[in-house]
Amino acid sequence: MAILELRAARGWSLKQTADTFLVTSGTVTSWMKRINEQGPDALLQLREAVNKFPDFVRYIVQRLKILSPAMGKVKIAETLCRAGLHLRVTTVGWILKEEPQSAPEDAAPCTRFVTANRPNQVWHADLNTVPTSAGFWASWLPFALPQCWPFCWWAVVIIDHYSRRVMGIETFRNNPTSVSVSHFLECAIHNARAKPKHLICDKGQQLRCDAF
């Protein structure tokens, strides 16, 4: 089946297909005649059933149920339908009955820890969007509105891990640049008259570049 799929995609003739895979033209012709066979004994079979959803669909459904236990299978199906993923309610029900997917066994656990023993030793920095009353109500197109003013604010917050004190907060009309975030961090250090030994942040594009 993989050979015939490649032949259709490339537009090869019988002879071109046979020469590429070192078979005869008659062999390819016999495959074409048996393409409609059904059942487990069929010569040409797909690698997985066409009605089987990929693993990420199961992950999304299970995570929605874990994060929002009040959501039933009907609500989950309606929510995913807005995102363009059409699932039957019964399909969502069967997925919820399955065992949640676990991480691969060979995945190495993270063994690095950063502990704050005093104030201004460990800071957390993060960016997030805060929608206004006219803001976006869904995070996917075509229902999402541009993530900028007047639909939302971009907020940058720095918190001290030890004291849970907010060391600084700043809002932006648009997605801030790395230079803007760096300037905000410099102001927070200046106002606190202290520089953290560790700064924990996510993998946002502003926080994962040489400028920052």
- Per-residue model confidence as pLDDT tens digits over 163-182: 999 999 999 999 899 999 99
Is 107 within a domain? no
Query: 126 with 195, same domain?
Result: yes
| Residue 126 domain-assigned (yes or no) | yes
Both 43 and 87 in one domain: the answer is: no
Q: What is the pLDDT of residue 43?
A: 83
Is 129 found in the same domain as 195?
yes
The token pair that represents 206 in the structure block:
């502003």
User: How many domains is the chain built from?
Assistant: 3
In this structure, the answer to whether residues 59 and 43 fall within a common structural domain is no
11 shares a domain with 43 = yes
DSSP-assigned letters across all residues of 110-162: P-------STTSEEEEEEEEEE-TTS-S-SSTTTPPPSSTTTEEEEEEEEETT
Mean pLDDT of 25-47: 84
Q: Is 150 in the same domain as 85?
A: no
- In the 8-state DSSP scheme, what is residue 199? E
Kindly report whether the peptide bond that precedes residue 131 is cis, defined as omega within 30 degrees of 0.
Answer: no
Categorize the per-residue pLDDT at 147 as very low, low, confident or very high, splitting at 50, 70 and 90: confident
Per-residue confidence at 27, pLDDT binned at 50, 70, 90? very high
- Gap between the Cα atoms of 134 and 114, Å rounded: 40
**pLDDT tens-place string over residues 123-143:** 999 998 888 887 766 656 666
Same domain, 69 and 88: yes
Q: Is the pLDDT of residue 212 over 70?
A: yes
Q: What residues make up the domain containing 33?
A: 1-51
Instruction: State mean pLDDT over 76-85.
Output: 88
Give yes or no: residues 40 and 68 share one domain. Answer: no
Q: Is residue 207 part of a domain?
A: no
| Residue 190: pLDDT band with limits 50, 70, 90 | very high
148-155 long-range contacts (CB < 8 A, ≥24 apart) are 148/173, 148/174, 148/175, 149/173, 149/174, 153/129, 154/127, 154/128, 154/129, 154/130, 155/127, 155/128, 155/129, 155/130
CA distance 38 to 33: 13
